[in-house]
């Protein structure tokens, strides 16, 4: 591929440290890949080149760009392209358990709160605010706070400056005093043997934080810290950072310590300050500031720019300029069409998405070049149904198909049992998922029913239950009324029994809404999940099912429809696995496609409260998310806006 003048300048610069400030679509990832190719061409050993990203999608995008610019596979495999968190895990080199579900942290949070109350001074206790024990809203609030405070290295910075976590300190930095003190207790529980030993567990990006806190103390040179970690790179000739606008204090600390460790190494970081969508994790555009980098690394930095977008044409560039309130040029030789339509209701919106996909396919364009970007997972239900009915294969990124989400599987299980039609669920994998969903959703630890299985673990009992129900579908009712009812709380048993009774006895069209109401999903979700968005999604998923069911004569027809959709989805998956050239469109969460591009991007459900989301934590992140979404398009951007509650973003685009 032909490099631009700006790219050639970045490739050939003699400066040892370069910061590249780019607009979206200005080929910053490609430019970084070209720089890696140039380094390899000059004889740099590939194993001594390290490229870091924040997200895994950015890591994949960089590797794809390296292939695109012609880097040979044997060379590519030896270049270290990884995320900061994976790099940290490698450096820490321990066997710490990684937990992935927020609910797994609950016990530690409440234990930390108990210790905070017991061990704090009377003066501090008067300043604390106290949540209701077991409140999932508080757990979510704390985890979000912890992610940001750890990303910003708030407690560590205070310690390195020999300051205490006092009320005045919290006021000074604008953070909650109670949560700061609670974080200290929580971290002590995470490190029961002390800071010099591996933690009990890690959650989220804790590995990045743990590495940064070990090596970050500015009072000590890196040479004094190496012995405290398991593995540190032996040689780095070049360090490259993609999506540098995503960096927080922890990642920046790791970056500058690598630079310090290898003073002769070349450094290049690229980013776009309008794409900061992780401020809730401490991401800050200041880490792309020339003065800050020079002050903290002692290096002279050359700032270079990638100004013109080569991804999209002038038509879209004009709207992006309106939205970002900055000049936005396009160097693309092609034009980008912006199509704006409105929808009356959610079904209408889903119908328009599928119509656009059909039109794209009729033009002999590959479906793989079409992406439908969603702000919330629940928005996929009606779109997935419409796509499956139209025979349009698709993949999901950032969320799983709605057919496999726990609350939907719960509803399918109750319908199957109540209608005595579990045998019509022919997919073995779906039967397995339903059993797992019943156990997980009802928060049941399977007990033993006879002496010969009392020594089995709950996991082994679950495997036995899955095999039994999969092979003998008529046993699903026994499984529900036996171990599930025995292990559930009284409230869960009441909801399940009431819902099941409605399915068995009511035959009017109102049966399905009555059954969903009997589940009391708002209350159930509040007890089940820590994250508010996950609770909102659970309720929205059932609402989506209700809307989808309204198009069928009765619930039996809808139940059969769900099973048929499952069969079609599995068939598409099997065909895709068999045929490497099979094309399918992308149904994706906006945040997961940052760094990627598609010929045609569709943005549906642009309604106030949906995008921007009504419960968003950071309006800035939300706005930047919209910027990311619309700048993924090359040839066509289709914007589908609510006719009654249009998103504020649409007006800001100048449409």
Check residue 487 and give its pLDDT: 84
Q: Is the pLDDT of residue 458 over 70?
A: no
Nearest alpha carbon to residue 556 among 495, 511, 609: 511
**What does pLDDT average to over the chain?**
88
The residue-averaged pLDDT of 43-61 equals 93
Residue 137: is its pLDDT beyond 80?
Answer: no
Phi, psi values for residue 134, rounded to 5°: 85, 0
Please give the structure tokens belonging to residue 313.
């044409």
Assess contact for 636 and 599: CB atoms under 8 A.
yes
Tokens of 114: 């108990």
- The pLDDT score that the predictor gives to residue 140 is 80
CATH number assigned to the domain with residue range 314-393+583-652, chosen from the 4 options 3.40.50.1100, 3.40.50.300, 1.10.150.130, 3.20.20.140: 3.40.50.300
pLDDT tens digits, 297-352: 999 999 998 887 888 998 898 998 888 887 777 888 899 999 999 999 999 999 99
- Structure token pair of residue 417: 């049992």
pLDDT at 451: 47
pLDDT at 2: 66
Of the listed ranges 68-82, 91-105, 413-427, the one predicted with least confidence: 413-427
**Residues near 210 by beta carbon (within 8 Å), at least 6 away in sequence:** 88, 92, 199, 202
Backbone φ, ψ for residue 109 (5° rounding): -65, -45
Query: In a 3-state reduction of DSSP, which class is residue 526?
Result: helix
- pLDDT-based confidence at residue 102 (cuts at 50, 70, 90): confident
pLDDT in tens, 470-525: 888 888 888 888 888 888 889 989 999 999 999 888 877 788 889 889 999 888 88
| The token pair that represents 297 in the structure block | 């690394």
Query: What percent of the chain has a predicted confidence (pLDDT) above 70?
Result: 96
Q: Which residues contact 481 (CB under 8 A, 6 or more apart)?
A: none
d(CA 226, CA 91): 10
The CATH number corresponding to 5-93+208-306 among 3.40.50.261, 3.40.50.300, 3.40.50.2000, 3.10.180.10 equals 3.40.50.300
């Amino acid at each position: 591929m032909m490099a631009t003048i700006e790219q050639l300048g970045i490739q050939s610069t003699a400066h040892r440290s370069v910061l590249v400030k780019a607009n979206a679509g200005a080929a910053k990832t490609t430019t970084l890949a070209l720089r890696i190719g140039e380094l390899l061409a000059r004889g740099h050993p590939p194993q001594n080149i390290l490229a870091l990203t924040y997200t895994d999608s950015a890591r994949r995008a960089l590797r794809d760009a390296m292939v695109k610019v012609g880097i040979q596979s044997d060379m590519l495999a030896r270049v270290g392209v990884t995320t900061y968190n994976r790099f940290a895990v490698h450096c820490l080199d321990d066997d710490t358990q990684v937990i992935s579900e927020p609910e797994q942290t609950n016990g530690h949070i409440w234990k930390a709160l108990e210790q905070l109350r017991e061990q704090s001074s009377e003066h501090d206790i008067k300043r604390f605010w106290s949540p209701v024990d077991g409140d999932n809203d508080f757990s979510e609030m704390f985890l979000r706070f912890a992610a940001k405070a750890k990303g910003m290295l708030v407690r560590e910075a205070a310690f390195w400056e020999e300051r205490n976590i006092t009320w005045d300190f919290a006021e000074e930095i604008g953070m909650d005093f109670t949560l700061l003190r609670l974080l200290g207790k929580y971290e002590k529980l995470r490190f029961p043997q002390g800071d010099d030993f591996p933690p009990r567990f890690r959650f989220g990006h804790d590995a990045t934080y743990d590495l940064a806190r070990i090596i970050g103390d500015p009072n000590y040179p890196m040479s004094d810290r190496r012995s405290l970690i398991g593995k540190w790179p032996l040689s780095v000739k070049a360090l490259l950072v993609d999506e540098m606008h995503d960096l927080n204090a922890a990642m920046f600390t790791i970056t500058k310590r690598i630079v310090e460790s290898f003073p002769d190494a070349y450094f290049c970081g690229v980013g776009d300050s309008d794409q900061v969508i992780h401020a809730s994790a401490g991401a800050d555009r200041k880490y792309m500031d020339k003065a800050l980098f020079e002050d903290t690394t002692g290096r002279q930095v050359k700032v270079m720019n990638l100004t013109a977008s080569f991804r999209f044409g002038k038509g879209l560039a004009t709207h992006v300029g309106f939205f970002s309130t900055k000049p936005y040029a396009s160097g693309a030789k092609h034009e980008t069409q912006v199509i704006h339509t409105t929808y009356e209701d959610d079904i209408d919106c889903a119908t328009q998405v599928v119509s656009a996909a059909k039109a794209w396919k009729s033009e002999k364009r590959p479906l793989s070049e079409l992406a439908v970007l969603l702000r919330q997972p629940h928005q996929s239900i009606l779109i997935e149904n419409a796509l499956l009915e139209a025979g349009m294969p698709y993949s999901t990124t950032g969320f799983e198909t709605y057919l496999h989400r726990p609350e939907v599987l719960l509803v399918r299980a109750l319908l199957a049992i109540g209608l005595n039609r579990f045998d019509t669920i022919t997919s073995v994998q779906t039967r397995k998922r339903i059993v797992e969903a019943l156990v997980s959703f009802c928060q049941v630890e399977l007990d033993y029913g006879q002496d010969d299985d009392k020594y089995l673990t709950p996991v082994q009992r679950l495997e036995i239950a899955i095999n039994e129900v999969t092979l003998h579908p008529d046993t699903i009712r026994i499984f529900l009324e036996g171990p599930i009812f025995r292990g559930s709380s009284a409230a869960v048993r009441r909801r399940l029994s009431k819902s099941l009774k409605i399915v068995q006895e009511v035959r009017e069209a109102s049966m399905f809404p009555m059954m969903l109401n009997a589940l009391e999903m708002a209350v159930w979700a509040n007890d089940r999940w820590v994250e508010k968005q996950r609770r909102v999604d659970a309720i929205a998923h059932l609402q989506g099912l209700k809307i989808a069911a309204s198009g069928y004569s009765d619930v039996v027809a809808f139940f059969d429809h769900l099973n048929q959709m499952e069969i079609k989805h599995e068939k598409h998956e099997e065909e895709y696995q068999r045929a490497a050239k099979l094309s399918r469109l992308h149904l994706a969460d906006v945040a997961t496609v940052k760094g990627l591009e598609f010929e045609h991007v569709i943005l549906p459900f642009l309604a106030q409260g949906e995008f921007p989301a009504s419960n968003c934590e950071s309006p800035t992140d939300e706005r930047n998310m919209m910027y990311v979404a619309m700048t993924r398009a090359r040839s066509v951007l289709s914007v589908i806006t609510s006719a009654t509650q249009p998103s504020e973003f649409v007006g800001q685009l100048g449409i």
